[in-house]
Amino acid sequence: MERLPPALSDWFAAKGWTLHPHQTEMLARAADPATLLIAPTGGGKTLAGFLPTLAELAKAPPKGLHTLYISPLKALAADIRRNLRTPIEGANLPIRVEDRTGDTTYTQRRRQRADPPHVLLTTPESLALLLSYEDAPRIFAGLQRVVLDEIHALAESKRGDQMTLLLARLQSLSPGLRRVGLSATVEDPPALARFLAPNTGILLADPGPAPDIQMLETEAPPPWAGGGGRYAIPAILEQVKQHRTTLIFHNTRAQAELFFHDLWLNNTEDLPIGIHHGSLSREQRERVEAAMVAGQLRAIVCTGSLDLGIDWGDVDLVIQVGAPKNVKRLVQRIGRANHRYNAPSKALLLPANRFEVVECKAALDAVREGTLDGEPRGPGPRDVLCQHILLTACAGPFTADALYAEVITAGPYAALTRAQFDATLDFVATGGYALRAYDRWQRLKQTGETWHLRDPRAAAVIRQNLGTIIDVETLKVRLKNRFGGTPLGEVEESFAATLTPGDTFLMGGQVVRYEGLREMTVEVTNQPGRDPKVAVFNGTKFATSTVLTQRILDIFQQPRWPDLPAHTAQWLALQREVSRLPDAETLLCESFPHDGRAHLVVYGFAGRNAQQTLGLLLTKAMEEAGLAPLGFVATDYATLIWGIDAVEDAAPLFDLHALQDGLETWLAGNAVMKRTFRASAIIAGLIERSHQGRRKSGRQATFSSDILYDTLRKYDPDHLLLQITREEAMRGLIDFSRIEDMLARVAGRIETRRLPRLSPLSAPLFLEPGRIPVQGMGRERLAEDAARKLMEAAGLA
Amino acid sequence: MPPAGVFQKGASGRGLHFGDGPARSGGMSLTFRLADTTLIARPSGALFWPEAGLLCVSDLHLGKSERMARRAGTLLPPYETRETLARLEAEVEATAARRVICLGDSFDDAASLDGLEEDDRLWLTRLIAGRDWIWIAGNHDAGPLDIAGTHRAEVPLGPLTFRHIAEAGAQGEVSGHYHPKARLAGKAWRCFLADRNRVILPAFGTYTGGLWCQDAAFAGLMQPGALAILAGGTVARAIPMPR
């Protein structure tokens, strides 16, 4: 049991502070090899993680590095440094704390390597870089503790996979190292514990009072389809007025932009409101963040970029616009309100359309019952392992046996076979090609038992390419010089390519006009008052989680829906009368004529990505069956296909083997695969990141990764990187596994209902935009008119 | 025949003389005139001069992956040389070219030739055999090359001059070096750039990138009214050169 040193306990006492039970418990467990602390936001998690460090250092400050703190955000590291300073300076402890991120100066970083502080605050990427230096063993030899903050967020990405490999490395350098993970509420604590270390103790803090969370009901019912929740702007402004600071979360950047634009137009009282998302320039985001910390903003329209645990001050209401798609994320977002322990968080859910009313209800129930969701991550990806092998080689010679033994202590790689490891090592060393071309120029050479870089010059390039975050190629957007040249943010290069001069779009809440491309920068001018012609760039689209999907299907099975708003309950009742409501045991398909075309709806409830893949595969099968499909649109719960001929029985279209074959052919030239390949090839060290400077100087020498993908598919289709790409895409954007799960669940029970006209449940699908919507106001009205007509046709209005 | 250097649509008028439809393979080509000669821009990115039975390609960059590996870079899929050779062979056969000019940067550097796989080298030798094959020196492969064919800094042939890098003020010039590319319909295309004085060829090599037409490097070289002829698809398509 570690005790609080007198200097600290005196200082706490003087401040009138007492420790929370979980903070005391962390001290008690100071000697344990690994502890996972799960505590709600505001529960003093970070202090809990650092108390053992402060106690040990106060007793006998050693020379050199004692504790490493790793957070997913640079800003968080800086935040923590300021927060730690208070008790350290207050109790006058002889402890040196420094942060080290991509923003740290070169001189500072050099000095830190020569003379490390007691506590170093950093990010996974900066740690990877540190571990790639030859002097890593010296720097980390005395390391006692490592604290991983927001580990639940890290664990969901390749940054987390890399993190576990780096931990394994650290443990070899300092066998006595103790690990602490700090996490928000998660669905499967033991899984997260395994991710942290092989034998991790779990400490659950008191979760605090249940959140006060409700659906925001408005006078106007939500529209039949579409997103963004703009119908509720008056109601939301009312809420903003009643609270100190409101966070308004959106699921995509495009929706956040559109919503903010309208909110601003309706903001007749000139309340200070801001917008924050990942496409805005750093200057803009920092300005909003500073205003927020200073308590100057009444509302911030934001996306996931505000999800992580920086203390933004006095937020007392969180509004989630659109169905949350995922209960865990919702709970974590709600935690942003009332950043004080033991005060309930207050949150409102705003369904963006009629179907989302059901989704929001399902999410509310899940939160009340404490059910969380999360898809298991699957084994650690091998592109990350490739990078880790390169990093290890940069630091010095290694043996395959020792590295393999180390790698399988990392949770995500525990099941990695020796054969898989050897194939990965072979790829890193020789390229792993069927044509053994690089005998003379291997990247890694073997001398006796040890592997080392053939050419030490390679280390510099490898270091520059460390990290697993792959940015899509973006272009900066700035106002034309005569308008001040202010940077506004970034758009994806592919979005910029679709613009022609004169196009207007939303950026940072203002309408701008595309003027042209100048030296890799998109130049725009202000166009106040114009309707945006083009919606913004792609944002992330989350698929609804399996847990939520199951709950939605359960709601469908209720005999009546007294706790749903009347408009929604009537809608479901009518669907039951006219057709039936989908359930988990049967795959419901509806076939009906509409507007001169035959239509087929497949209610797979497999999530947007999988439903989209299903649309591609089914239309292909229909094409082959001569059914002349003309197009399709997919949502989280259904795929709507239209064509010339009616589908009498959909069941034969769902032959799993045929679908798999179709998938293989389709994948060959698919843009999703090429994008996935590019990301994996960068992580695995096959291609270098494109650095801004080099891009500017012209790209004769840097060619598209698509060429590599096509070449590999043609000449070496079984190559490791293509295997990795397939695995990635199947789990991610293509999400074929959820199609397989769905087909396994219904086990051949595929029912096709032939209907004389469209069904109530299918009606909103007709309003679903196929791509990222182009949403001028006129279009929105048209959509609502069309909606009303469709609803009348379905007997609903 | 229309006067040299003027693009013709049909028999008269300014504009473009659209070509003679599908070539024997490789899709729809596009015919244009330069310095009183009729030239064909092929969708592959190769240029054909029917009158002289001459095929011209630029910037093959053979041995690119080997050179990167040698210089401690990454280990790219080592198949680009055979891919480039396969496309070159297809062009030679489709046009039945008696003479071939490689406009420079044929090899990624002077040592790349030594690094070629034995099979690839034999393949290249077979292609050269029985043809008048000219290697023009580029900035990547300036040194003497130990391979069959004639090695030249530049080649004047009738009204045309073939060289690696375009020279200001030249007339009837065919060159490469810049790897021009242009955007259309949200996609990047390798392209020829052509005006009344010159044509700049796209890179033919598999592992090559490109330079956008808008780049300052082209501003002084290409006259107003220049065209970009997009290659890489099934049809060679002309658009006004994006500036």
Which residues lie below 8 Å from residue A535, measured CB to CB, with a gap of 6+? A254, A257, A258, A505, A506, A772, A773, A774, A775
Tell me the residue ranges of DSSP E strands in A216-367.
246-249, 273-276, 299-302, 317-321, 346-350
As a three-state string, the secondary structure of chain B is CCCCCCCECCCCCECCCCCCCECCCCCECEEEEECCEEEEECCCCCEEEHHHCEEEECCCCECHHHHHHHCCCCCCCCCHHHHHHHHHHHHHHHHCCCEEEECCCCECCCCHHHHCCHHHHHHHHHHHCCCEEEEECCCCCCCCCCCCCEEECEEEECCEEEECCCCCCCCCEEECCCCEEEEECCEEEEEEEECCCEEECCCCCCCCCEEECCCHHHHCCCCCCCEEEECCCCECEEEECCC
Instruction: Please check whether residue A772 touches B, CB under 8 A.
Output: no
CATH at B216: 3.60.21
Contacting residues of A for B219, CB less than 8 Å apart: none
Interface test with A, best of B79, B109, B190 (most A CBs within 10 A): B79
How much is the pLDDT for A783? 45
Distance CA A113, CA A140 (A): 10
Interface test with A, best of B59, B65, B68, B76 (most A CBs within 10 A): B76
H-state helical runs in A408-530: 418-430, 458-464, 493-497
For residue B4, pLDDT over 60 is answered with no
Average pLDDT over residues A172-187: 92
Instruction: Please check whether residue A714 touches B, CB under 8 A.
Output: yes
Instruction: Please check whether residue A686 touches B, CB under 8 A.
Output: yes
CB A53 within 8 A of CB A350: no
For residue A342, pLDDT over 50 is answered with yes
Residue ranges matching CATH 3.40.50.300 in chain A: 6-204
Greater confidence (B204 vs A252) lies with: B204
Dihedral sign for Cα atoms in the order A397, A400, A402, A408: positive
Closest to B208 in 3D by CA, of B61, B56, B43, B57: B61
CB A546 within 8 A of CB A605: no
Rounded to the nearest angstrom, the minimum Cα separation between A499 and chain B is 9
- Are B178 and A455 inside 8 Å of each other by CB? no
Distance CA A217, CA A357 (A): 10
For residue A6, pLDDT over 50 is answered with yes
Contacting residues of B for A719, CB less than 8 Å apart: 77
CB A271 within 8 A of CB A34: no
A595 forms beta bridges with none
CB A675 within 8 A of CB A728: no
Residue A95 tokens read as 């402890």
Contacting residues of A for B83, CB less than 8 Å apart: 711, 714-715
| A38-89 tens-digit pLDDT | 987 767 888 899 999 999 998 887 889 999 999 987 777 877 888 888 889 9
| A312-337 tens-digit pLDDT | 667 888 899 988 877 877 877 777 66
Residue A37 tokens read as 């602390």
Nearest to B75 among A438, A498, A699 (CB): A438
Domain containing residue B63: 30-240
Greater confidence (A105 vs A304) lies with: A105
Interface test with B, best of A703, A712, A719 (most B CBs within 10 A): A703
How much is the pLDDT for A615? 84
For tokens 């009643």, the residue is A242
Rounded to the nearest angstrom, the minimum Cα separation between A674 and chain B is 14
Contacting residues of B for A688, CB less than 8 Å apart: 73-74
- Are A455 and B72 inside 8 Å of each other by CB? yes
Residue A759 tokens read as 């069904």
Count how many Cα atoms sit within 13 Å of the Cα of residue B113 in the half-sphere of its side chain. 16
- Are B79 and A455 inside 8 Å of each other by CB? no
Instruction: Please check whether residue A704 touches B, CB under 8 A.
Output: yes
Chain B interface residues (partner A, CB cutoff 8 A): 65-66, 69-70, 72-80, 82-83, 117, 178-179, 183, 186-188, 203, 206-211, 214-215, 217
| B122-154 tens-digit pLDDT | 999 999 999 999 999 999 988 778 899 999 999
- Are A497 and B186 inside 8 Å of each other by CB? yes
H-state helical runs in A5-135: 6-15, 21-28, 45-59, 74-90, 106-114, 124-131
Those of residues 421-460 in A touching chain B at CB distance below 8 A are: 430-431, 433, 435, 437-438, 440-443, 454-455, 457-458
| A538-555 tens-digit pLDDT | 333 567 788 888 899 999
Distance CA A357, CA A320 (A): 13
Closest to B191 in 3D by CA, of B139, B155, B228, B159: B228
- Going across the sheet that includes B99-102, the strands are B30-34, B37-41, B47-49, B54-57, B99-102, B132-136, B150-152
Distance CA A448, CA A400 (A): 11
3-state secondary structure of A369: helix
Q: Which of A404-418, A464-478, A642-656, B165-179 has the lowest mean pLDDT?
A: A464-478
Q: Which residue of A has its CA nearest to B203?
A: A700
Quick check: is B53 in a domain?
Answer: yes
Distance CA B205, CA B182 (A): 17
For tokens 């100066």, the residue is A105
3-state secondary structure of A41: coil
Quick check: is B84 in a domain?
Answer: yes
- Are A435 and B74 inside 8 Å of each other by CB? no
Distance CA A397, CA A459 (A): 12
- Are B66 and A498 inside 8 Å of each other by CB? no
- Are B74 and A443 inside 8 Å of each other by CB? yes
- Are A715 and B70 inside 8 Å of each other by CB? no
Alpha-carbon Rg of chain A, whole angstroms?
28
Quick check: is B11 in a domain?
Answer: no
How much is the pLDDT for B42? 97
A639 forms beta bridges with A602, A634
Distance CA A610, CA A541 (A): 12
3-state secondary structure of A37: strand
| A751-782 tens-digit pLDDT | 999 999 999 999 888 776 543 222 333 334 44
Q: Which of A174-183, A407-416, A748-757, B183-192 has the lowest mean pLDDT?
A: B183-192
Contacting residues of A for B69, CB less than 8 Å apart: 431, 437-438, 441, 443
Closest to A35 in 3D by CA, of A180, A221, A233: A180
pLDDT band at A701 (very low <50, low <70, confident <90, very high): low
How much is the pLDDT for A786? 55
Nearest to B206 among A687, A701, A711 (CB): A711
3-state secondary structure of A34: strand
In the DSSP assignment, the letter for residue A649 is -
Nearest to B77 among A699, A703, A712 (CB): A712
Instruction: Please check whether residue A712 touches B, CB under 8 A.
Output: yes
User: A74-90 vs A6-15: helix axis angle to the nearest 10?
Assistant: 90
Dihedral sign for Cα atoms in the order A256, A259, A264, A270: negative
Q: Which residue of B has its CA nearest to A704?
A: B209
Distance CA A655, CA A652 (A): 6
Residue B107 tokens read as 């090899």
- Are A715 and B82 inside 8 Å of each other by CB? yes
Nearest to B75 among A443, A700, A701 (CB): A443
Dihedral sign for Cα atoms in the order B89, B90, B91, B95: positive
Average pLDDT over residues A175-184: 94
The b-or-e profile of A44-83 (16+ CB within 10 A means b, else e) is bbbbbbbbbbbbbbbeeeeeebbbbbbbbbbbbbbbbeee
Those of residues 314-373 in A touching chain B at CB distance below 8 A are: none
In the structure, how many helices (H) and strands (E) does chain A have? Answer: 30, 26
For residue B186, pLDDT over 60 is answered with no
For residue A443, pLDDT over 90 is answered with yes
How much is the pLDDT for A277? 80
Distance CA A603, CA A53 (A): 54
For tokens 């933004």, the residue is A312
- Note the ipTM here: 0.87
In the DSSP assignment, the letter for residue A204 is E
- Are A711 and B79 inside 8 Å of each other by CB? yes
Domain count, chain B: 1
- Are B83 and A711 inside 8 Å of each other by CB? yes
User: What are the Cα distances from residue A17, in Å, to A8, A9, A92?
Assistant: 11, 9, 17
How much is the pLDDT for A239? 94
pLDDT above 90: percentage of residues in chain A: 39
Closest to A43 in 3D by CA, of A155, A149, A152, A184: A184
Quick check: is B119 in a domain?
Answer: yes
Average pLDDT over residues A597-625: 85
Quick check: is B95 in a domain?
Answer: yes
Rounded to the nearest angstrom, the minimum Cα separation between A712 and chain B is 7
Number of CB atoms found within 10 A of residue A102's CB: 12
Most confident of A241-250, A500-509, B167-176: B167-176
Q: Which residue of B has its CA nearest to A442?
A: B69
Average pLDDT over residues B148-163: 96
How much is the pLDDT for A188? 87
| A642-686 tens-digit pLDDT | 887 888 999 999 888 888 887 777 666 566 677 789 889 999 999
A6-204 belongs to CATH 3.40.50.300: yes
Instruction: Please check whether residue A688 touches B, CB under 8 A.
Output: yes
Quick check: is B235 in a domain?
Answer: yes
Number of CB atoms found within 10 A of residue B239's CB: 15
